[in-house]
Structure 1
Amino acid sequence: MHRHFGWDHPRRSRHGFSGPGMGGPGEGRGRHGRGPRIGRFLEHGDLRFVLLALIGETPAHGYELIRALEERTGGAYRPSPGAVYPTLALLEDEGYVRATEAAAGRKAYEITDEGRQALARQQGSVDAIFARLDTVGADDAGRHKVRRAMENVKTALKLRLSRGSDQAQAEQIAAILDEAASRIENL
């Protein structure tokens, strides 16, 4: 059954570009499929303007843009090349970016005057998108620190217990862990 939603382009919604590779809801997940679905943070067409804004800051090739988004979100979101490269091609077709030759024969993209104008018209939305992405990055960075600390405790316990411990040491370890648990619970 064919449904028509009033789109004037096969991959364009009323709010921007969408569909596979266009940054629509659910597009991309955390590394290895874990983490929050980025669809809560990137709506239809958001990836298009996020990439345009990043290119507006400094010319970049696709892999650099993928890395920049992954770093900005603390690893919570890493767009796939299958999402980024078609979006870059679309931006180039629209005249918002142009490809230049970069190191190692890679295509780098730089923003055009038309791209700057389009970005300026969407600046409020772009700022809101980046605020959401920055929040995700800050939240994930905090969780990462807690997970790292938990692993440190687990490793220290395994090492200590593998060397053996007497009753007094075992009671001391248990007291330390109980105190830590209590302090965490009361934060």
Structure 2
Amino acid sequence: MFGFHKRMGERHARWHAMRGGRHGGFWGGGFGDAFEEGFGGFGGGRGGRGGRRRVFDGAELRLVLLALIGEQPRHGYDLIKAIEERSGGTYAPSPGVVYPTITMLEDMGHIAEQAAEGSKRLFAITEAGKLEIGEQAEKVEALFARIAAMGEEPGGEGRFPVKRAMMNLAMALRERISRGDRSPDIAHEIAALLDETARKIERL
């Protein structure tokens, strides 16, 4: 048990370092956190005053992600997109909770990384993960029913295209920021693109 918690701490430290911390400027995690906060008006998974809804607790989210990976190998963004689609576009968990949960599932031995092209990490379920899903079959069914019910709530469907586009942008920025080249010129180019898009939206 001690070894498991030690590995979790090491994994979390590496994950946090990759994000650049909370105060790393444009190329740091502070930018990503601020962008994720911007999803507040479009639904999502963060609780707290004025924040997004917390739909699942940690154990429930682990089970949902494990079940989705059990259907087919998936990477982080694919998991977010799958939940969003199942909810009719009314809910998508934050990358800030999905990626640490993936790390936890890997450390628990329920999923394992697979060979994949590109920089995205692809995960498949293990025999231990399949056993867990089998033992929790009724709960998994109830959790997916809860997700499907969100799509039947009034008022959410009109936000789906915008929310999807925002999530795509957030993931593109996160993946670009995580790469080695973090020159000021690249940062200015990205900022110019975002500013231009903002101006076009204001003119609609």
The question of a shared fold, defined as TM-score above 0.5 by the shorter chain, is answered with yes
Q: Which is helix-richer, 1 or 2?
A: 2
1:75 aligned onto 2:83:
no
**CA-based RMSD:** 3.0
Q: Structure 1 55/143 Cα, relative in aligned 2: closer, same or farther at 3 Å?
A: closer
Could you tell me which of 55, 63, 77 is aligned with 1:63?
77
Summarize the alignment of residues 114-133 of structure 1 with structure 2, pairs less than 5 Å apart. 114-133=128-147
Partner of 1:20: none
Letter in 1 for 2:117: A
Larger RCO of the pair (alpha carbons < 8 Å, separation 6+): 2
1:138-166 deviation digits (Å, cap 9, x = unpaired)? 325x7536xxxxxxxxxxxxxxxxxxxxx
Could you tell me which of 81, 104, 107 is aligned with 1:90?
104
CA contact (8 A) 1:30 1:76 kept: no
Partner of 2:41: 33
Unaligned runs of 5+ in 1: 1-8, 10-27, 146-187
Q: How does the TM-score come out when normalised to structure 1?
A: 0.56
Q: Per the alignment, in what secondary structure is the counterpart of residue 42 of structure 1?
A: coil
Q: Structure 1 44/93 Cα, relative in aligned 2: closer, same or farther at 3 Å?
A: closer
Q: Structure 1 143/83 Cα, relative in aligned 2: closer, same or farther at 3 Å?
A: closer
Letter in 1 for 2:157: H
Partners of 1:69 and 1:107 lie apart in 2 by 18
Any runs of at least 4 consecutive aligned residues in structure 1 with deviations exceeding 4 A, and if so which? 28-31
Identity, % of aligned positions: 44
Could you tell me which of 37, 53, 56 is aligned with 1:42?
56
Q: How does the TM-score come out when normalised to structure 2?
A: 0.52
Partner of 1:157: none
